[in-house]
Amino acid sequence: MRRAITPTGRERKLEEESFIVSRTDPTGKITYANRVFMEISGYPERDLIGVQHNLIRHPDMPRGVFHFLWEELAAGREFLGFVKNLCSNGDHYWVFASVNPEYDPDKTTRGYYSVRRRPPDSAIAAIDPIYREMLRIEQGCSSKKQAPKESLNYLQELLSGKGVSYEQFVLDLYLA
Ligand SMILES: Cc1cc2nc3c(=O)[nH]c(=O)nc-3n(C[C@H](O)[C@H](O)[C@H](O)COP(=O)(O)O)c2cc1C
């Protein structure tokens, strides 16, 4: 059993020019982590390789976001989005992530890879209250299975009300 980590509320910032890179197998177990990932998350390589990527899942992150991530990957598409991650000591860091499938020559899915950069503070300020509302919806949902779908529904309705696609919304925030 993994030891539960208590969030400290302290934020770490990724350097402007840095990239966090990781790769996983088809089930989401980490197969590669670059040095920046190890440094900011506080985990040495031996604690990352072979471990599910949810090791760094922050409890403030709504499940609906990851539900959408896996839906996009299963459909062979790139996922773009803002993610708040948990460090080994409970601190957190925000990233703008691109997650993509990787294929073998025979076109079977070999796994996935992700590249993340530092998001602007304005993007974090915009996405944080939306994630909080998604989390509130999930916590109020009686069915654990239905909860991520309901919170994702909220996000999709919010964006369709603004007349903007999810991808355009996150790119506009990232490039602001
Ligand atoms: C390549 C790749 C990178 C991922 N990166 C992260 C990440 O940085 N943080 C995170 O919480 N989940 C990440 N995930 C998603 C996790 O696998 C997992 O779905 C998520 O943490 C939610 O955990 P849960 O499914 O146990 O609720 C990534 C998945 C893949 C395939």
Residue tagged 């239905």 (tokens): 146
Indicate if ligand 1 lies below 6 Å from the C-beta of 24. yes
The pLDDT of residue 1 = 61
Query: What does the pLDDT average to over 123-149?
Result: 97
Model confidence band, residue 2 (pLDDT cutoffs 50, 70, 90): confident
Measure 26 CA to ligand 1 centroid, in angstroms: 12
Q: Given the CA of residue 111, which atom of ligand 1 is nearest to it? A: 31
pLDDT digits (tens, 9 = 90+) for 70-106: 999 999 999 999 999 999 999 999 999 999 999 999 9
Kindly give the residue spans of alpha helices, DSSP state H, lying in 35-120: 35-41, 45-48, 63-74
Would you say residue 164 has pLDDT above 70?
Answer: yes
**Amino acid letter, 3:** R
Provide, rounded to the nearest whole percent, the portion of the chain with pLDDT above 70: 99
Q: Could you give all domains of the chain from N- to C-terminal order, each with its CATH number?
A: 20-175 (3.30.450.20)
Q: How far from chain centre, in Å, is Cα 139?
A: 19
The residue among 152, 164, 141 whose CA lies nearest residue 62 is 152
Q: Given the CA of residue 95, which atom of ligand 1 is nearest to it? A: 8
Measure 86 CA to ligand 1 centroid, in angstroms: 11
Cα separation, 136 vs 156, whole angstroms: 16
Distances (CA, A) of 86 to 108, 110, 130, 133, 142: 31, 26, 19, 20, 26
